[in-house]
Amino acid sequence: MSVQSNVEVRTEWGIVSARQAGRNLAKEIGFSSVDQARITTAISELARNIYLYAEKGEIIIEAVEEIHSTGVKHGIKITAKDKGPGIKNIRQVMEDGFTTSGGLGAGLPGVKRLMDEFDIDSVAGEGTEITTIKWNS
Amino acid sequence: MADSFSLMQEQYAKILQTYLQEKNEIGLYHAQQFSKKVLENQISPEEVVSLHLDAIEKFFPDLPQGARDSFEFLLEVMMGYGMAYREHQSLRDKQKELETEINVAANMQQTFLPKEIPSVDSLDVGVISVPASKMSGDYYHFVKDENNCIGVAIADIIGKGVPAALCMSMIKYAMDSLPEQRLQPGALLENLNRVVEQNVASNMFITMMYGSYDPRVHHFYYSGAGHEPGFYYNYKTDSFEELYAKGLVLGITRDTTFREYHKKVEPGDFIVLLSDGVTECRTDEGFIEREELTRFIHQYKHLPAQEIVNNVFYQLEKLQGFQLRDDFSLIILRRKV
């Protein structure tokens, strides 16, 4: 199983490559086609944010696992990193309906709902790092 | 109780198979019923596509690869709907939360209004106050002093809903903190005006009419701050006249003075105080005329004051198709014979 892929995002091609890398790994882990579509949609949204607001950054895709008493849980972890302008008011962008897209479910709250775990760190003027995980149930 | 996803899968396969075999309306009816179930179980659109693909793969094991791939494509197209659907659910939950909060606030606001109307032998009083939405921007207040004089206030905050309600609660506290001894209406409004001027944003306005009824001499003293004029019903001539008090809206300038008016009230006469929600009652043909309002009041004048206001409210509510556009308050004070 591939350990980690880093995809640079500075054009729309980068978005497509990140999706491809995410889909390949999701398939390998054994996600259903619905979950694959969810994971790639989340990657798309994160990569588009980089492309639109930070100009460049990277998407890191890796397999993760968690050991439970009942067995091993497999998942996929997406990290989106950029050194763009950062987000001044994180609480605001995490609110439904805030995104400039007119709030049709897109944006960061949409990504959070598609995935199982979501974490965001952003410093205005320095950049943003978003980490999100989907577990294969 | 939510059904498990696998149970839904099974059901879908079953009703789809029946439909494919019999191709009749009942099969489609089952599909429609199933769509309700899907919503009940909060299954998003992309999952429905996947349900469908799973089912037809079972029925047609040699489904052409192109057809199968096209479902992957459809799945991707449905993702946007899926995200919008989840956002909708989350917004709906948030709305419920807000509604609960507003209900609590509205209950709290009700406690600001007088629990009972003070009674004196010579006066018959009726009050009705109904908010257009849950919270009201109208306010009324009654007070009885040691000489049995009845003070009555009616106020209207321009605007409605939550902002008006917040402002209304301030008026309530301002009235409560006025000096114990009875103030003349003009002096009372001057006091309140200072409080409003200091505490309320300059884009909020409050109109008020304050009156004091002295049952010892049957005089009604009143002053107004830009408030909708009331009516005075003269029993002897069986006619209405306007109860108007000139004065600036509260909160505009600090040193406003308010002129005091007075009326000698004869047996059977009554005073009508109202908020602009009563006269700005809109029907399909436009605002109702003030004459129409007095006609309604006249129609019920033989009834006790409380029943007059109840009936007038019902008639006006009916005229508007039972939809209030503004907060509605109506008070009647009648000198008993």
Report phi then psi at B140, rounded to 5.
-140, 160
Q: Are A33 and B50 in contact (CB under 8 A)?
A: yes
Cβ-Cβ contacts under 8 Å, B83 against chain A: 41, 104-106, 110, 113-114
Q: Which pLDDT does position A92 carry in this prediction?
A: 85
> Do the chains contact at A104 and B85, CB–CB below 8 Å?
no
Domain ranges of chain B: 5-105, 112-335
Q: Which pLDDT does position B155 carry in this prediction?
A: 94
Side-chain half-sphere CA neighbours of B200 within 13 A: 28
Side-chain half-sphere CA neighbours of B133 within 13 A: 13
> Do the chains contact at A40 and B86, CB–CB below 8 Å?
no
Residue whose structure tokens are 């950054």: A57
Number of DSSP helices (H) and strands (E) in chain A, helices first: 4, 5
- How many angstroms separate the CA atoms of B204 and B249, rounded? 10
> Do the chains contact at B83 and A105, CB–CB below 8 Å?
yes
Both structure tokens of B189: 């409004």
- How many angstroms separate the CA atoms of B246 and B224, rounded? 6
More confident residue, B200 or A110: A110
Reply yes or no on whether the pLDDT at B1 is more than 50.
no
Q: Which of B44-53, B197-206, B255-264, B271-280 has the lowest mean pLDDT?
A: B197-206
Decide: helix, strand or coil at residue B142.
Answer: strand
Cβ-Cβ contacts under 8 Å, B70 against chain A: none
More confident residue, B258 or A88: B258
Both structure tokens of A94: 């995490």
What's the mean pLDDT in B56-63? 91
> Do the chains contact at B83 and A41, CB–CB below 8 Å?
yes
Mean pLDDT taken over chain B: 90
Query: Which of B4, B5, B9, B83 is the best residue to mutate to test the A interface, defined by the most A CB atoms within 10 Å of its own CB?
Result: B83
Q: Which pLDDT does position B112 carry in this prediction?
A: 86
Domain B112-335 grouped into CATH 3.30.70.890: no
Q: Which pLDDT does position B180 carry in this prediction?
A: 64
- How many angstroms separate the CA atoms of B107 and B100, rounded? 11
Q: Model confidence at B288, in pLDDT bands (50, 70, 90)?
A: confident
Q: Which pLDDT does position A104 carry in this prediction?
A: 57
pLDDT digits (tens, 9 = 90+) for B142-201: 988 888 899 999 999 887 778 888 888 888 888 888 876 677 999 999 999 998 888 877
- How many angstroms separate the CA atoms of B165 and B171, rounded? 10
Cβ-Cβ contacts under 8 Å, B88 against chain A: 105
More confident residue, A97 or A125: A125
**What share of chain A in percent tops pLDDT 90?**
72
What's the mean pLDDT in B298-313? 95
CATH of B5-105, one of 1.10.1240.30, 3.20.20.210, 3.10.520.10, 3.30.310.80: 1.10.1240.30
What's the mean pLDDT in B303-324? 91
Nearest to B79 among A37, A96, A97 (CB): A37
pLDDT digits (tens, 9 = 90+) for B228-238: 999 999 999 99
* B282 Rama class: left (phi>0) / alpha (psi -120 to 50) / beta: beta
- Please state the CATH superfamily assignment of the domain spanning residues A4-135 in this structure: Histidine kinase-like ATPase, C-terminal domain (3.30.565.10)
Q: Which pLDDT does position B3 carry in this prediction?
A: 60
β partners of residue B70: none
- How many angstroms separate the CA atoms of B111 and B280, rounded? 26
What's the mean pLDDT in B4-20? 92
A–B: how many Cβ contacts below 8 A? 54
Nearest to B75 among A37, A110, A114 (CB): A37
* A119 Rama class: left (phi>0) / alpha (psi -120 to 50) / beta: beta
Q: Which pLDDT does position B175 carry in this prediction?
A: 86
Other CB atoms within 10 Å distance of the CB of residue A68: 8
Cβ-Cβ contacts under 8 Å, B85 against chain A: 105
Nearest CA in chain A to B47: A34
* ipTM of the prediction: 0.82
Report phi then psi at B300, rounded to 5.
-110, 15
> Do the chains contact at A40 and B87, CB–CB below 8 Å?
no
Reply yes or no on whether the pLDDT at B285 is more than 80.
no
C-alpha B175: how far from chain center: 23
Beta strands A71-82 and A4-9, pairing class: unpaired
Q: Which pLDDT does position B211 carry in this prediction?
A: 96
pLDDT digits (tens, 9 = 90+) for A20-50: 999 999 999 999 999 999 999 999 999 999 9
Q: How far is A22 from chain B (nearest CA, A)?
A: 14
Query: Which of A19, A23, A27, A34 is the best residue to mutate to test the B interface, defined by the most B CB atoms within 10 Å of its own CB?
Result: A34
The packing angle between helices A33-49 and A107-114, to 10°, is 150
